[in-house]
Amino acid sequence: MSHRGLFDLTGKIAAIIGGGSGIGAAVARGAVEQGATVAVLDANEAAAKSVASSIGAEAAGLDIRTPAEVRSALEAIVLVHGSVDIVICTPSINVRKPILQYSEDDFDRVVEVNLKGSFNVLQAAGRIMSSARRGSIVIFSSIRSQVVEPGQSVYAATKAGIVQLVRTAAVEFGPFGVRVNAVGPGVVETPLTEPIKAHREWYEAYANKSALKRWAKPEEMIGPTLFLASDAASYVTGTILFADGGWTAVDGRFTPPGM
């Protein structure tokens, strides 16, 4: 039995949500290169169309905060292509503030996109795929699901919540042949992390925190994501794959005298 085509996505229909920039754009490109038919979906429709035109994909606007909009977007893909085999959801936002400075609006904004939006995608994709009795859903979490720092309270809570949503969805959808997993990136150079990159000392401190002592490029999330989406991960569900440069493996840094 040959395992040569485990990562091949030829014939698969993939919806890449958040594909207009950053990690989503990189993953969309990677999916096309692996043979998938790709729909790039993003709240910024112009950005989605720009990425799609550069990789030979289709595009549409999508605000994951609205359940009906998510359902319609995925159903439209099924209507055109007959199925949606892979759904990857990357969008998130962060408001960096200490808990005592957080406003109700700050809290609602972060939870609505990161947690509610991810739930909306899980629910809509889960309905379609459970009916088809096949499919793979990949939702983006973060190292912040496990480790935190000051100013990251609500963001971290949503990323931990995503892991539990993914685990529950994996259990509920598994009998119907649907796999559900999460990716947990470390620090990646994307529009979301621009405020950090703008401060050299902050940027370098984050780089040195990881075992590899550097930030990731968006393209480095393609492999972990498409592994979970592909047949190479046919027995992988309900888990989070950390692509964090060893960040979560490091607990402080100490060099003994004389070493």
Residue in the structure block whose two tokens are 């990881």: 210
Look at residue 235 and tell me if it is in a domain: yes
CB 57 within 8 A of CB 28: yes
CB 63 within 8 A of CB 80: no
**For residue range 27-84, what is the model confidence (pLDDT) as tens digits?**
999 999 999 999 999 999 999 999 999 999 999 999 999 999 999 999 999 999 999 9
> Is pLDDT of 255 > 80?
no
Instruction: Tell me which residue range forms the domain holding 223.
Output: 13-243
Task: Please identify every residue annotated as catalytic.
Answer: 155
Q: What is the DSSP letter of 88?
A: E
**For residue range 121-148, what is the model confidence (pLDDT) as tens digits?**
999 999 999 999 999 999 999 999 999 9
Look at residue 259 and tell me if it is in a domain: no
Token readout for 216 is 């990731």
Look at residue 253 and tell me if it is in a domain: no
Q: Checking DSSP bridges between strand 178-185 and strand 135-140, what pairing results, if any? A: parallel
Burial of 140 (0-12, 13-18, 19+ CB in 10 A): buried
CB 193 within 8 A of CB 218: no
pLDDT band at 256 (very low <50, low <70, confident <90, very high): low
What pLDDT is stored for residue 62 in this prediction? Answer: 98
Look at residue 22 and tell me if it is in a domain: yes
> Is pLDDT of 192 > 80?
no
Looking at the structure of the chain, the number of domains it has is 1
Look at residue 202 and tell me if it is in a domain: yes
What pLDDT is stored for residue 52 in this prediction? Answer: 98
Token readout for 135 is 């499919």
Contacts of the segment 150-157: beta carbons below 8 A, 24+ positions apart? 150/98, 151/96, 151/97, 151/98, 152/94, 152/96, 153/98, 153/99, 153/102, 154/95, 154/102, 154/106, 154/107, 154/110, 154/111, 155/92, 155/94, 155/95, 155/96, 155/110, 155/114
Look at residue 256 and tell me if it is in a domain: no
Look at residue 158 and tell me if it is in a domain: yes
Element (H, E) at 110: helix 104-111
**For residue range 243-252, what is the model confidence (pLDDT) as tens digits?**
999 999 987 7
Query: Which CATH number belongs to the domain containing residue 209 in this structure?
Result: 3.40.50.720
Q: What is the mean pLDDT of residues 170-176?
A: 98
Look at residue 2 and tell me if it is in a domain: no
> Nearest Cα to 190, choosing from 16, 25, 1, 79?
25
> Considering the chain, what is the average pLDDT of its residues?
94
What pLDDT is stored for residue 70 in this prediction? Answer: 98
> Is pLDDT of 257 > 80?
no
pTM of full prediction above 0.85: yes
Query: What 3 state SS string does 72-125 have?
Result: HHHHHHHHHHCCCCEEEECCCCCCCCCHHHCCHHHHHHHHHHHHHHHHHHHHHH
